[in-house]
Structure 1
Amino acid sequence: MDYLTTNKQAWNERAKVHFDSSFYDVPSFLAGETSLTEIELAELNDVADKSLLHLQCHFGLDTLSWARRGAKVTGVDLSNTAIDKANELAKQCQISADFVCSDVYSYSADSQHSFDIVFTSFGAICWLPCLTQWAKVIADNLTSGGTFYMAEFHPVQDVLEGYPYFHQSKPDIVTEGSYTDVEDDTPQTMVTWAHSLGEVINALIQAGIRIDSVNEYPYSPYNCFENLIEQQPNQFHSIVKGQSIPLVFSIKGTKT
């Protein structure tokens, strides 16, 4: 199975339904609200006048939210439908942004520009078979001394849903609907890979990214898994045997 073709087709369909979903709440963004969560805003708080590359940007809400905070942004995504919608949003909001339709691995070969910040978040790396190559793309696109930042769902949650914790060469192939609240949600076939926390960190280190911080959070900022309990506003916990499990991790690093 050609995973890029399969996942591109699935994300083209998802981009159509996500754009109109209350989960993404485009009207609030158009009214001036940010799509970024308290986690990213607290940990990556100095972006003004810096160039920022957002890998796997979907239809650009987070990318454009960084632009509103002063960053000079470029968003990259596999889905041409998502990129079209990102460009529509940028035009509608009169925000300067560049959006490129490309898979992550191919982007570095075409880019001659180094960025001050490379950013990625939430539900991104599971679509990639090789994190060594992913980390090389990050390092290749960062200027010396530049910042890499990611916030991502914790792999412990995947284990509870029946997926492996450790990476396997054979992917998981699933046919399922979206995590959003849309009614017209045709199931899509998608190809994913598990990546442990250690694998993520070591891939970045080997690519020349100095790890400055690793944080774990006992909640998700999104109500996107089953049986979550909102203990504080926009902090959704998964309780296992009376304890909150880790649902998010973040990594911040510097290109050496």
Structure 2
Amino acid sequence: MIVYVTSDEYLGVNRDLWDERVPIHLGSEFYDLAGFRAGADTLRDFEIAEVGDVSGRTLAHLQCHFGLDTLSWARRGAKVAGLDFSAPAIEAARGIADETGLDARFVVSDVYDAPEALGATFDVVYTGIGALCWLPDVGRWAETVAAVLNPGGFLYLSEFHPFADILDEETGTTVAFDYFDRTPQEWNEPGTYTDGDGTTRNNRSIEFLHGVGDVVSAIVAAGLRLEFLHEHDHTLFARYATLEKDGQRYRLPEGRPRVPMMYSLRATRV
């Protein structure tokens, strides 16, 4: 059940939640750390196609968790830096980098402090996959992205579509929530997306809904030029009980009207 709140406690509350879940995620089948250590790539096929060749380019991954996607870009030739507000996550990322011999720099920081924390600018800023819902101010986020991009560099955002958040979780057929309500949402749920039955203590979280229009408008206002916005009819987990697995993706059953469940965009700093 959603409880609507007005709160500026989000940073500490959410950090406590993510800190506790790092060891659970590290041991989960969802992240398959053993497979990654053996050479697997965690990036999605559409991301690889839309970002293009990163060989020799500098890339910053904002809100990187424990860095498997960050290190996957390193495997593809990028010179990477990852940033996350969770110290246990960054400690784990550094350990995985050492174990795999991948060259990467990882920094503990709130994303809004990225320009100072990273101390550099980059050819590519990569972010998303459930990242923006943890941030209260998407305009400030877009300004942060612009501040860490080199002229001619680009932002690549791959994210869950907010339209999917307004549908009921069981069937995905009924509008259950208000797309335009921007009130912070407080949740109190044990476990985590890798282990719904996991025993956890810090179960409170505060999340924020940003419409696609909010995100695009913020990016443009920050001085970036939108190159494309793609909407996708699939997602990366069983968002609704009716979804069927299709390789890396989950889709609605054949013949059912489709809805957008993810989106991706690319925007250049001119």
Q: Please, which of 120, 126, 130 is the counterpart of residue 137 of structure 2? A: 130
2:12 to 5, 21, 29: 5
2:244–2:252 Cα contact (<8 Å) kept? no
Cα deviation 1:39-68 (Å, max 9, x = unaligned) = 211111211100000000000000000000
Stretches of structure 2 that go unaligned for 5 or more consecutive residues are 1-6, 169-175
- 1:15 deviates by 1.2
Please tell me whether the aligned partners of residues 21 and 182 of structure 1 are also in contact (alpha carbons under 8 angstroms): no
Q: Which residue of 1 aligns with 2:26?
A: 19
Q: Check 1:242–1:203 CA distance in 2 against 1; reply closer, same or farther (3 A cut).
A: same
Residues 227-246 of structure 1: pairs in structure 2 closer than 5 A: 227-230=241-244, 232-238=246-252, 242-246=256-260
State the SS of the aligned residue for 1:146: strand
TM-score by length of structure 2 reads 0.89
SS of match in other structure, 1:95: coil
Count of residues in Structure 1 that have an aligned counterpart in Structure 2: 254
Is the contact made by 2:192 and 2:198 (CA closer than 8 Å) also made in structure 1?
no
TM-score by length of 1: 0.94
How big is the shift at 1:254?
0.5
Mapped partners of 2:248, 2:29: distance in 1: 15
Please state if 1:248 is matched with 2:257: no
Identify the residue that residue 172 of structure 1 maps to in structure 2. Answer: 185
Residue matched to 1:194: 209
Residue 132 of structure 1: CA displacement? 0.6
Q: 5+ unaligned residues in a row in structure 1: which ranges? A: none
- Which range is displaced more, 102-111 or 242-251? 102-111
- 1:91 equivalenced with 2:98 (yes/no): yes
CA distance in 2, matches of 1:255, 1:240: 40
1:50 touches 1:71 (CA, 8 Å); kept in 2? yes
Q: Is the 8 A contact 2:109 2:117 kept in 1?
A: no
The alignment's C-alpha RMSD in Å is 1.8
Q: Percent identity?
A: 39
Of 224, 238, 261, which aligns to 1:209? 224
| Alignment-mate amino acid for residue 118 of structure 1 | V
Residues 9, 224 of structure 1: alpha-carbon distance in 2 compared, 3 angstrom cutoff:
farther
Deviation, 1:181, is 3.1
8 Å contact 1:120–1:150 — kept in the other structure? yes
Q: How far apart, in 1, do the equivalents of 2:125 and 2:256 lie? A: 37
Query: Which sits farther off after the overlay, 2-11 or 156-165?
Result: 156-165
Q: 1:63 corresponds to which residue?
A: 70
User: Does residue 57 of structure 2 align to residue 42 of structure 1?
Assistant: no
CA distance in 2, matches of 1:127, 1:158: 14
